[in-house]
Amino acid sequence: MSSKETLLNGRYRLVAQQGSGGMAVIYKATDLALSRTVAVKILRPSLTNDSDFLKRFRQEARNVANLSHPNIVTVHDVGQDGNTHYIVMEYVDGTDLKNLIRSEAPFPIDRALSITIKICAGVGYAHRAGLVHADVKPQNVLVTKSDNVKVTDFGIAQALSATQPRSRQKIVWGSPHYFSPEQAQGEPPTPASDVYAIGIVMFEMLTGKLPFAGTDQQELAMAHIRETPPNASDFNPNVPVHLDRILQKVMSKEPASRYRTADQLGRILIAYRRQGQVTTDQVPEVPHEDTSSGTEATLPPTPGPGYVEPDASSGYRPAPPSEPSVQAPVSYSNSGVTTDAYTNASYRSPATTPSMSPVPSQPYQPPRAPDVMIQSRYRAAEPPQQLDMVTLVLAFLAFIAVVLLIPLWIAVYQAWMG
C-alpha cells in the first residue's frame, strides 16, 4: 500500500505487514482511537470486484465477532475505506504454527497434545455456534511464546443454517494439504471435516511431515480420497501406538468414522494425556477390594460423559451448572473404537454454550481413552491361616456323624417304600 493508504478511515495506522494468504494481507497496526495494537486483515484488491467474495468476507466478520473464546482471535471491527475492505482483530504476539513446525518439528508428544487440545477448544466452540472453519491449517494457528494458541482466519467459515447447499457444492473449500476427502470431492465441509484437518496438523507436529503428497492439487485430492494415511510412528518412533490409533480414526475417509466435532476430539486427547501421566503411586487405594484374588484396582466412578475437567491450559472450561446439558454421550471400549451419539447433534450459539456435568464430590478421574494401559496397584494376598487341632477334631467328628446317619436314612427310605 502507498503511504497515503497507511491510515484507514483516520483510525487504523498500518505499521508493518505480518503475513499474507490467498485472499488477504495481514498488517500490524495501531488503533488511534483506543491507543492499542491490533491486526488488520485487508482483502486483496484483485478480489474486491467479486460481490460474492465480499459477501463472504463481511460474513466472516459477523460470524467471528460473535465468538468469544481464549483460543479464537477476537474480531474488534470491520470496515471499508474506499475500495479497501478490512477486518480489525486482536494482535497476537507470536508466530504461526507452520513456522514452528518448520523449525522445531517433530514436537515432543506432550507439546503436540497440548497445542492440539487448544486448537480443538477454539474450533469446537465455533462448532457449537453453528460454524465450520473449513480451512484449519498451521498457517491459521497463532502460537505465543508461552505456547498459548489462537485460531484465526475464519475467512471461509460458514453458518451451517444459513448457507444454501446448492451454492456450497460449487466451491472446493480449504487448503489442498489439509482438506478432508469430502472437501476434495467438492462436498460441503462439516465439523468432521475440521476434525480431519486437525488430525493432519497434529500428524505434522509429531513427524515434521505431511501424510499425503502430490505434485498438484488434483494429485493431493486423490491422495486424500484413496490413500491410507501412514502411521505417525513410521516417521517418529516416539509416537505411542495408542496415539497412532487415535490419529487413524481422526483421518478416516468417511466422516461418520471420525470424531464428529472438535470438542469430542479434544476430550479424547485430554483423557489420553491424563491417563498417560498416571503412575503406580498415583493410583488411589480401593478401600474394599478383594485382597485374596489380587485383582486390579478400579478407577472411582466417573462423572457424566459431557464433563470436562477445568483446564486453564487447554481452554476447556465447564459452563455454569444452571444451563442444561446437551453434550452427546461418549463411550470407550477396549478395542480402541470410540462410539458416540453425534450423528445429528444440534448446534447452539455461544450464548447458550452446552454445560458440563457437575463436579462430583470425590476426586475426578477421566474415562479410559481407547486402548490406553494404566499401571495399577496390586496388593499381595495374605497367606491363609493354618488349621489348628480343634478345627481338625471337629471336622472329623462331623464326618463320623454323617457316616453313621447313612444306615438310618436307608432304613427310613425302605420303610416308606414298603
CA 390 to chain centre: 66
Q: How far is CA 55 from CA 20, 42, 58, 114, 268, in A?
A: 20, 14, 5, 35, 37
Neighbours of 92 (CB within 10 A): 18
Tell me how far apart the alpha carbons of residues 32 and 68 are, in angstroms, rounded to a whole number: 24
Which cell is 247 given?
490419529
**pLDDT reported for residue 232:** 97
pLDDT, tens digit, 9 for 90 and up, residues 78-122: 888 988 889 999 999 999 999 999 999 999 999 999 999 999 999
Name which of 109, 334, 328 is nearest 239 in CA terms. 109
Name which of 151, 269, 252, 114 is nearest 193 in CA terms. 252
Looking at the DSSP bridge assignments, the partners of residue 96 are 142
Amino acid present at 380: A
Q: What is the rounded radius of gyration, in angstroms, for the C-alpha atoms of the chain?
A: 30
Query: Where do the domains of the chain lie, and which CATH numbers do they carry?
Result: 3-90 (3.30.200.20), 95-352 (1.10.510.10)
Tell me how far apart the alpha carbons of residues 225 and 219 are, in angstroms, rounded to a whole number: 10
pLDDT, tens digit, 9 for 90 and up, residues 312-339: 445 554 444 434 433 443 333 333 444 3
Which cell is 375 given?
499401571
- 135-139, 205-209, 326-330: which is most confident: 205-209
Q: For residue 278, what pLDDT band results from cuts at 50, 70 and 90?
A: very low
pLDDT, tens digit, 9 for 90 and up, residues 224-243: 999 999 999 999 999 999 99
Contact 109, 239 (CB under 8 A): yes
Higher pLDDT, 402 or 243: 243
Contact 120, 265 (CB under 8 A): yes
pLDDT, tens digit, 9 for 90 and up, residues 332-384: 333 344 434 333 333 343 444 443 444 444 444 444 444 443 333 333 344 44
Tell me how far apart the alpha carbons of residues 121 and 72 are, in angstroms, rounded to a whole number: 9
Q: How far is CA 32 from CA 3, 36, 37, 41, in A?
A: 17, 7, 9, 17
DSSP result, 59-92: HHHHHHHT---TTBPPEEEEEEETTEEEEEEE--
Q: How far is CA 120 from CA 52, 127, 280, 393, in A?
A: 30, 10, 30, 71
Residues labelled as active-site residues: 135
Amino acid present at 203: F
**pLDDT reported for residue 395:** 85
Looking at the DSSP bridge assignments, the partners of residue 26 are 19, 41
Tell me how far apart the alpha carbons of residues 308 and 354 are, in angstroms, rounded to a whole number: 11
∠ CA 166-170-174, rounded to 5° = 120
Evaluate if pTM is beyond 0.75. no
Judged on CB neighbours under 10 Å (0-12, 13-18, 19+), 238 is exposed
Q: What is the mean pLDDT of residues 2-21?
A: 82
Contact 181, 253 (CB under 8 A): yes
Which cell is 287 given?
478401600
pLDDT, tens digit, 9 for 90 and up, residues 407-418: 888 888 888 886
